[in-house]
Structure 1
Amino acid sequence: MSDFTTVEVSHDPRGFATLWLSREDKHNAFNALMIRELNIALGQLADDAGVRFVLLRGRGRHFSAGADLAWMQQSAQLDFNTNLDDARELGELMYALHRIKVPTLAVVQGAAFGGALGLISCCDMAIGAEDAQLCLSEVRIGLAPAVISPFVVKAIGERAARRYALTAERFSGLQAQALGLLAEVYPASQLEASVNQWVETLLANSPQAMRATKELLREVDGGTLSPGLRRYCENAIARIRVSAEGQEGLRAFLEKRQPAWQADANKEPRP
């Protein structure tokens, strides 16, 4: 793994990785370097066959305060083409996180503003603290949530996205759950224990089956029925039934024993 300045990647021997936003003194605010390093880290994780799933987290009190003000001030002095390059780099980050083949779980505490909502929306699942504070804050500083908007709309729906993008209202973790952005919320004091429960749940599942299911759901997307989609789904179940993990899972179920991937998950986690 590369040495990073603004992010950290930690690997658990049970087979998952945590990608940390690590600018705690800046409340994990984005700048050009963090975006670049997140892209590199995601590329490395995508190529690592030993990673079953990825947690996305922020060091310290906050998930991410959004864009770094110093970086935004510098961006204001740049011409259109240079700003376009910056936007493309951010777009690559959002699309890379959205399309990574393994499941992703965001864990949200404290503030999650601006582009941070894009990261949360790009993950397959997200949980957080009840008292987290979220905000699509761009219009307050004369901007728009442009690059993240497709993912936010997918996550919370068009009507809610219109409200929160146009008003820049803050909303709590509880409201984020009601909107569907967070799957579950917990008292802040219980968040870490809840993360461990989610990890154990994901470790119980076949790594190959989770990847195949994520690919299947991406193909299904909105669920528009077609002959092509029907054939794709039929082929998908046939392929996984004859795969090594599919065969192992079926044998383990019939023999009333633990499948091999669950045995691997019983390794002691790193401190």
Structure 2
Amino acid sequence: MLTTDVPKVVIAHFAQLPSERIRSQLADAVSVDTTPFDQLDHGDHPCLIEFDTQSPAEVSRARELRQQQPRRQMIWLMPRLTIPLLRLALSLRIAQVFTLPLSPSEAIELKLLLNSDFYAPGHSQRPTHQKLRCVLDSIEQRFEQPLSLQQLAQEAGISDSRLCHLFRQQLGLKFSLYLVCRRLEAAPEALQDEGLNIASVAYKLGFSTPSHFCRAFKAHYGITPSEFKQDASKGKHSHAFHRYLQCRHPDAHLQEV
């Protein structure tokens, strides 16, 4: 519920028409104006960029807008989140990134971000994308080491359940699956090292046992590590591994089973 005058925000949309659902979700916290992205002015009101296809052209134009208006509060609303886009948003100092459609809790989080006087008992502003970025960077730097959801959540300053939710909601993957896939992404290069046998590769990549590594590799590459060493061209990615690679490398041309 509102307690003071209603702040104004602008939704700049790439689609032909803005999302009426977003307007209705924000209606009790802010006054919403909408405008096609190309007609956005240089006002001072917070700006929500509503992506449509999330194409490279849209991302490029959103980046240019940020560079033209560096002091304006901007929030990105995207159909899906990828790790490169998450990092780009942070590098551009985008206030927050949300995936569409907004869940009820995310809508409240957005309203608190836009209106500090909005009253929502039990809720608080959470820099979601910054927390997730922190965890993803930790995995990137230390995936070869033993890592747990509880450990990384504590380091990021959020609860285990919140971190678990962020992986499912923002990336479409379980934390445990993401970690396994990150290790497996490094497996082909390690398997090409003639000085390492399969057991050595397994331990080098952070797997608890060689059998665990072999099962995971077969599940996501479609062939065993031994078969891969003989002929890597036979391998094909599982759907889950394909989804992981889309998060990590959205512009790559990938093939799944």
TM class by smaller structure: under 0.3
Please tell me whether Structure 1 or Structure 2 has the larger radius of gyration of its CA atoms: 2
| Structure with greater contact order relative to length (CA < 8 Å, sep ≥ 6) | 1
TM-score of the superposed pair, with normalisation by structure 1: 0.27
Structure with more of its chain in strand, by fraction: 1
TM-score of the superposed pair, with normalisation by structure 2: 0.28
